[in-house]
Structure 1
Amino acid sequence: MSKTEVVLGIDIGGTNTKLGFVDREGNCLVAATMPTEALTEVGPSKEVELFLQRLYSTADGMFAKISDTCVMKGIGMGVPNGNYYKGTVEMPPNLNWNEIVPLASILEKHYGVPAALTNDANAAALGEMKFGVAKGMRNFLVVTLGTGLGSGFVVNGDIMYGADGFAGELGHVTVNPEGRMCGCGKVGCLETYVSATGIRRTVYKLLADHTEDSEMRRISFDDLTGEMITEAALRGDKIAIEAFDYTSKLLGLKLADTVAITSPEAIILFGGLTRAGAHLLKPTHKYMEQYMMPIFKDKVKLLVSGLTGANTAVLGASALIWNELDKRPQL
């Protein structure tokens, strides 16, 4: 009896790293989560070494559960500041690595199977194309709304990487050159307004400008989360609803600009803020159409991710390596 082919999907986040073994149909057979950073402060080089030790231990323990019936064919990773061309993680802003880490080649040597990496938004786009609502689409955009704003552009069926591997940074287009400071070092980036972090800043600006009551007045800035704002909006909190409207206006504006450049079939929103449902989707669609160049009006679908459950990021990472294996059978 032949063994089931699986790949290891890895999503490296600023706090936790998620892993899962996924078959060709997108079934996650076994999954786990581990801390990305060491629990005690160490230097960047030691941080990477300790991360790899935890990764190997976790992955090996997971595979032991399915090794009798499965064979590992490759490793796909969604990582911050991932360079697809070089297989490197380069100066990730939310990790204490502070160096260029050739992560793909390290894992290839350790496990003896092909490995590939890209940023988490590109991985999400590949996941949508292989397992989600973008099945059959060849031109679309995925926007991830988490702590920051990521984006993955699919053009003619392939991820758009650009000359250096870092193309498609929608989160760092400028919406206000005299606006909010961004973690990337620029001022007024879209991410500083449209993300879980950005909407927190918007809420506190609105609380300062208005006197009406809001359940969020009793929460400190450090304690407030995007999930709390979403829940408040769903309960009818006017400040939360206005914050989502302002967020949607800026997102719709920049999506309209993006459509003029890429003419996608659909734009797919992914991440925690989409739980606000109509409070995010309805005004975003309204503003996108309002700012849209006439030739593109009413042509572009605005959708929510079709990947559900706890392992969505792992599915995206696994889709990357399945895509590589399909494109290059010699691997």
Structure 2
Amino acid sequence: MEKPYAIGIDIGGTNTVFGVVDKRGHIIAQGSIKTAVHKEINEYVNNLAIALQEVMDQVGGSANIKGVGVGAPNGNFFTGCIEFAPNLPWKGMIPLAQMLTDRIKVPVALTNDANAAAIGEMTYGAARGMKDFIVITLGTGVGSGIVVNGQLVYGHDGFAGELGHTTIRRTNGRMCGCGRKGCLETYTSATGVARTAKEFLSTRQDPSLLRNISIDEITSKDVAEAAQQGDALAKEIFEYTGQLLGEAFADFIAFSSPEAIILFGGLTKAGSLIFDPVKTHMEDNLLPIFKNKVKLLMSELKESDAAVLGASALGWEVKEI
């Protein structure tokens, strides 16, 4: 009889959250541990294994778990390693999938967090039934998961799909944390929206509700709230952000011809403020053969659960030990 549950783990720089998930995408049991307090990887894996055992015991133990999927920054599906992740306490190559398998005696698969989101959308969310789509995560950075013909695109080394680090501005582009200039995420992430607000406010004289906030403390949420109150400058910031995203999406569509682009992450809470300009500028820049063919959709995964659900979807596919 097929095992009824999978486990999804989302490793973030601050916290690691996990849950036991059934075939319908319901989280049956869940928990979390602090990531950042574990400076040594063996200590982290030991504590994670103890916490996982507690939730597995709630559903009858490891005998009922098909597999474990992990979403992590710089997670490589091919190697099972977290490779040189800048925002985690452990440096270099961390063979996390094997380390965790050895501790809990359940097969473990690893991928990066945006790929996990794409797998989650295909299994439980807006991409059910689709074979060709792109998930774009708009958070602190811009991540992406690309699915072609029903398969996630990993490339030859496991790191395909870094669409947030395609160059959207080649002249005088913003410095990115990756060390290059003009990357899409420097403009269209939540952090990028805040950077745009600071630039507009410091180089222009327009009145704006945002001028009531210390310029160094402005967030994308502040910009969205001002725009929703009709603030012209804030609305222009979203128009600019949506233009750049739409232009980039038109290029992405040219190389994979997706049925849909699905947006996920905190910035999507701005709703039509971001969706409308993205859609307009995407269509304006598409090759004629692609016009009016590609859906622009909001993720159907609840944000607080999405990372765990996405990772758990990988757990259903993992091979037995």
TM-score, with length taken from structure 2: 0.94
Q: 1:248 aligns with which of 242, 260, 277?
A: 242
Counterpart contact for 2:144–2:161, Cα < 8 Å: yes
Which residue, out of 75, 78, 87, partners 1:82?
Answer: 75
Encode CA deviations 1:21-64: one digit per residue, 9 max, x unaligned: 1011111011223322018xx5xxx2x23322332232223233
C-alpha distance in 2 between matches for 1:312 and 1:149: 16
Match of 1:166 in 2: 159
User: Once structures 1 and 2 are overlaid, which stretch shifts more, 164-173 or 231-240?
Assistant: 231-240
Which position in structure 2 is the counterpart of 1:196? 190
Specify the alignment match of 2:95 in structure 1.
Answer: 102
Cα distance in 2 for partners of 1:115, 1:69 equals: 12
1:65 aligns with 2:64: no
In 2: Cα distance, 1:68 partner to 1:84 partner: 26
Deviations, residues 111-133 of structure 1 (Å, cap 9, x unaligned): 11111111111111110101001
Q: Distance in 2 between matches of 1:14 and 1:219?
A: 28
Distance in 1, Cα, partners of 2:64 & 2:93: 30
Residue 228 of structure 1 deviates from its aligned partner by 2.6
Cα separation, 1, equivalents of 2:285 and 2:49 = 49
The residue that corresponds to 1:298 in the other structure is: 292
Aligned to 1:288: 282
Question: How do 1:259-274 and structure 2 match up within 5 A?
Answer: 259-274=253-268
Quote the Cα distance in structure 1 between the aligned partners of 2:210 and 2:43. 39
d(CA) in 1 for partners of 2:10, 2:202: 37
The change in CA–CA distance for 1:316 and 1:294 in structure 2 (over 3 A counts) is same
Structure 1 pair 109–145 and aligned structure 2 pair: CA distance change class (3 A): same
Q: Secondary structure, in 3 states, of the residue corresponding to 2:66?
A: strand
Aligned to 1:113: 106
Which amino acid is 2:5 matched to? V
Cα 1:301–1:67 change in 2 (3 A) is same
| Distance in 1 (alpha carbons) for counterparts of 2:229 and 2:280 | 22
User: Secondary structure at the residue paired with 1:193?
Assistant: helix
**Contact persistence 1:30–1:62 (CA under 8 A):** yes
**SS of aligned partner of 1:295:** helix
Q: Shift of residue 140 of structure 1?
A: 0.4
SS at match of 2:129: coil
Q: For the residues of structure 2 that align with 1:188 and 1:194, how far apart are their CA atoms?
A: 11
3-state SS of 2:304 partner = coil
**What do residues 128-175 of structure 1 show as CA deviations (whole Å, max 9, x unaligned)?**
101001111000000000000000000000000001100011000111
Distance in 1 (CA, whole Å) between partners of 2:121 and 2:27 is 15
CA deviation string 1:281-315 (max 9, x = no partner): 01000000011111111110000001125211100
Report what 1:50 is aligned to: 43
| Amino acid of the structure 2 residue aligned with 1:15 | T
- For 2:71 and 2:260, locate their aligned partners in 1 and report how far apart those are by CA, in whole Å: 22
Query: Which deviations, in whole Å up to 9, do the C-alpha atoms of 1:170-211 show, x marking residues without a partner?
Result: 000111233111111111100100101111100101111222
1:3 Cα deviation (Å)?
9.4
Tell me the amino acid that sits aligned with residue 307 of structure 2: A
CA contact (8 A) 1:226 1:272 kept: no
Q: Report % sequence identity.
A: 49
| Count of residues in Structure 1 that have an aligned counterpart in Structure 2 | 320
Equivalents in 2 of 1:50, 1:212: separation in Å?
A: 53
Q: Distance in 1 between matches of 2:28 and 2:2?
A: 13
The list of structure 1 runs, each at least 4 consecutive aligned residues, that deviate by more than 4 angstroms after superposition, is none
Name the CA distance, whole Å, in 2 between partners of 1:283 and 1:83.
Answer: 34
**Range 70-79 or range 134-143, more displaced:** 70-79
- 2:137 equivalent among 122, 144, 150: 144
Q: Structure 2: how far apart are the matches of 1:3 and 1:283?
A: 46
Report the CA distance between 1:321 and its aligned residue.
1.7
Unaligned runs of 5+ in 2: none
Q: Following the alignment from structure 1 to structure 2, what is the Cα–Cα distance between the partners of residues 259 and 312?
A: 24
1:129 aligns with 2:93: no
Distance change (3 Å), C-alpha of 1:228 and 1:260: same
Name stretches of at least 5 consecutive residues in structure 1 with no aligned partner: none
How many angstroms apart in 1 are the aligned matches of 2:234 and 2:87? 27
Change (3 A) 1:180 1:204: same
Normalising by structure 1, report the TM-score: 0.91
Residue type of the alignment partner of 1:13: G
